[in-house]
Amino acid sequence: MDSRSLALLLVLTVPSAAKDMKNVVPRDLAALESGIRQVLAESRTPGMAFAIVSRDKVIRAAGIGKADVASGRDVTADTLFRIGSVSKSFVSLSILKLQEEGRVSLNDTLRSRAPEVQFQNRWEDTNPVRIVNLLEHTTGWDDIALRDYANNDPKPLTTFEGLAYNPKTRTSRWPPGTFFSYCNGGPPAAAYIVEKITGKRIEDYVTENLFRPLRMNTATYFLTPESEQRLTKLYHSDGRTPFPYWHIIMRASGAINASAREMANYVQFYLNRGSFEGTRIVGPSSIARMETPATSYGAQAGLTSGYGLSNYGIIEKGFVYRGHNGGVEGGLTELSYLPEQGLGYVFMINSGNGGAFVNISHLIRNFITKDLKAPAPLPVVQAEPARVEPFTGFVEPQNPRVQMFYFLERILGIMRVWFGDNKLHVKPLFGAGAVYVPVSGHLFRKADDPIPTLALIGGHGAPMLDVHSLAVRVVPTWLVIAELGIGALALLLMASSILYALFWIPMWLFRWRRRKYRAKRFLILRALPLVSVLSLVAVVAVFTVSAEDAIARFGNVTVWSVSLFLLTIVFAVTAVASLVVAIRGCRPEVRRLVWIHAALVSGACVVVAAYLAWWGIIGLRTWS
């Protein structure tokens, strides 16, 4: 899943207080499992399952902890977990297998193959939506809506019915084949094409052509009496409260249940370049194509570390891992492998704890690479300052996954880029920066990385960069200073109204009896800006307390989603009203500092309200 997503996505994680395991190198399997148990205990994650494999054997497949806390049932290597978005790779394999048979091409357009699937693309004549865009997430579509995530009807919809449920998010926001933006609506559309070609449900096609030859005999897309007996429960961050089973409306994107033992076979399939136990399922060229991004600006510029066909690259400590991760409410999965070294792993946890997930990933990666030497990085070249200079300055993100949150991402995602000493420096507003060295005229890598992860992209309007699949565009410095300055000033003024209230409210209450008439006259001047600010604070609070249950709370009409809708309206209305009252309140009997402060806070609220209204946040109906 896309780590830049701000909230309310398919993966909803909570922080972990566990010790950072990034530099812990387990000496053997016993130490590895001991480290994992420590992470589970410290993060209150009930259980996990994992498998580590080479090309020709399963090094270890095991379960740790509890699959069902209430009954005390243990996790084993055969316990079924929700593998989330790893499910997407089976759709890509299906398309590639059919392409090998000459029945479809990645370059076929969605319109020609499935004209009944609704979508909007105003660039269709020049940049049509193709199957490859569906699988590489370069359609430009917004991610599916919260109401799609929240649909939990136990009666399975067909793939087409799932696509028809809420097609409005399938609107290209930029020309397809330009920017990467993770979208759960693309793979189901490709799955529907598989169904049209084969005359079989995608679930049946995958079972017959992939699950069976891979000996994934208990893997399933559905909750059945048989699978329920093998399935782990998925838990909130307290490690005790289970989530209900999620009947995912877009099953092709994330519904598969599978065990660690079965997923070990799947990892070996990749390591053996499309074969398992001597049986060829797809050709090596299809596996190579899965691992090679092709359609985004970054991929066209030569980056190989991005998102291919349901398969992406991650670089850690000099090693290039391929694979995919996945998440559902209360469950996270990672499938990752080293193609050249012939090693890989998969693990699944039954909580949404992001800290535990990252720490276990570090432990397993450090273990499998402890005796390996990282590949030599591409040599550094001398960059031409004149060529790099147009790409320096301030940059803003251009390819948000969830359009709803772009109002915040475009500000928080601002970075400063500068070039010096043959190095490109990238510094975000918050957190540590990174330094990149040139390996060609337009490709850069981090000092310890073997391959480039940053590309300079020209010829598309303002200069852009692809930084780990994040597309950023150079923007004028004055604009960034204005945005950040006005935003910071507005927030400071709004915060000051809360601090001021700590003084004037007690004073007003104390003087109420003796100065009742005058207190009433001045009350509205002070109170309206405070109400406006507090309503915005309440919006943030509603989001914060709903983090783990955001899909159910905001994807349906609930007290939470309606409260959010009403609070944003209250904020905007009281912001405007407070400014009107402040303007009218400029009278001799009103203390000048009181009036000035009220006017400034009201103006700040109006500015913020106008910005949020521009991006569609005022009156936001998250259930629509």
| Tens digit of each residue's pLDDT (9 = 90 or more) over 364-409 | 999 999 999 999 999 999 999 999 999 999 999 999 999 999 999 9
pLDDT at position 514 is 56
Triad 219, 59, 361: Cα angle to 5° = 75
pTM of the model: 0.94
The residue-averaged pLDDT of 220-242 equals 97
Question: Does residue 329 come out as left (phi exceeding 0), alpha (psi in the -120 to 50 range) or beta?
Answer: beta
Rounded Cα distance between 115 and 133, Å, is 16
pLDDT at position 586 is 64
pLDDT at position 475 is 95
Number of Cβ within 10 Å of residue 447's Cβ equals 11
Give the residue extent of every domain in the chain: 29-368, 385-475, 488-614
pLDDT in tens, 282-330: 999 999 999 999 999 999 999 999 999 999 999 999 999 999 999 999 9
Contact assessment for residue 310 and residue 92, using Cβ atoms and an 8 Å cutoff = yes
What's the mean per-residue pLDDT of the chain? 93
pLDDT in tens, 73-98: 999 999 999 999 999 999 999 999 99
Instruction: Give the pair of three-digit tokens for residue 299.
Output: 């991929």
The CA–CA distances, whole Å, from 536 to 248, 495, 542, 568 equal: 32, 11, 10, 7
Helix (H) or strand (E) holding 326: strand 319-328
Which CB contacts under 8 angstroms, 24+ apart, belong to 598-604?
A: 598/525, 598/526, 598/529, 600/493, 601/493, 601/494, 601/496, 601/497, 601/529, 601/533, 602/528, 602/529, 602/532, 602/575, 602/578, 603/493, 603/579, 604/489, 604/490, 604/491, 604/493, 604/494
The CA–CA distances, whole Å, from 333 to 306, 325, 491, 522 equal: 19, 5, 38, 58
Of 264, 220, 308, whose CA–CA distance to 60 is shortest? 264
Question: Which of 14-28, 168-182, 339-353 shows the lowest mean pLDDT across its residues?
Answer: 14-28
Rounded Cα distance between 405 and 616, Å, is 10
pLDDT at position 512 is 62
**Pairing verdict, β 434-438 and 443-446:** antiparallel
Contact assessment for residue 609 and residue 576, using Cβ atoms and an 8 Å cutoff = yes
pLDDT in tens, 432-446: 999 999 999 999 999
DSSP reduced 3-state for 521: helix
pLDDT in tens, 146-166: 999 999 999 999 999 999 999
DSSP reduced 3-state for 447: coil
Rounded Cα distance between 231 and 82, Å, is 8
pLDDT at position 563 is 97
Contact assessment for residue 356 and residue 11, using Cβ atoms and an 8 Å cutoff = no
> Taken in order 606, 610, 613, 615, is the CA torsion positive or negative?
negative
At residue 1 the predicted structure's pLDDT band, cuts being 50, 70 and 90, is very low
Of 37, 42, 45, 43, whose CA–CA distance to 64 is shortest? 37
Rounded Cα distance between 622 and 624, Å, is 6
Pick the CATH number of 385-475 from 1.10.8, 2.40.128, 3.30.70, 3.40.50: 2.40.128
| CATH number at 29-368 | 3.40.710.10
Burial of 523 (0-12, 13-18, 19+ CB in 10 A): middle
pLDDT at position 7 is 36
Share of the chain above pLDDT 90, in %: 88
CATH topology match: 29-368 vs 385-475: no
Q: HEC states along 40-72?
A: HHHHCCCEEEEEEEECCCEEEEEEEEEEECCCC
pLDDT at position 45 is 98
Contact assessment for residue 202 and residue 254, using Cβ atoms and an 8 Å cutoff = no
DSSP E strand stretches across 207-293: 257-259, 275-276, 279-280
Triad 206, 207, 211: Cα angle to 5° = 95
Contact assessment for residue 355 and residue 43, using Cβ atoms and an 8 Å cutoff = yes
Of 61, 51, 56, whose CA–CA distance to 342 is shortest? 56
Contact assessment for residue 303 and residue 14, using Cβ atoms and an 8 Å cutoff = no
pLDDT at position 609 is 98
pLDDT at position 509 is 74
Contact assessment for residue 64 and residue 36, using Cβ atoms and an 8 Å cutoff = yes
